[in-house]
Amino acid sequence: MKLPSFVYILTFIILFLVLVVFADTFIFALGTIGLVVTFAANYKDQAHTADHH
């Protein structure tokens, strides 16, 4: 089941705000990189599978 894109965007923003509020500088940097890589990989996988269906 594929969720609408606004759900992914909202989840990204919420997780990013949690990092902003609760993380120190080092964890903020690592967490931001992790978030971007995770969501980019998820988007790439969805775009790749959408081409084949």
Q: pTM value? A: 0.75
The per-residue DSSP string of 13-48 comes to HHHHHHHHHH--HHHHHHHHHHHHHHHHHHHHHHHH
Q: Structural domain of residue 43, as residue ranges?
A: 5-51
pLDDT of residue 48: 62
The first and second tokens of residue 12, run together, are 């990204």
- pLDDT of the residue at 43: 77
pLDDT attached to residue 11? 92
Query: From first to last of its 53 residues, what are the pLDDT tens digits of the chain?
Result: 788 889 989 999 999 999 999 999 999 999 999 999 999 888 777 766 665 55
Q: How many domains does the chain have?
A: 1
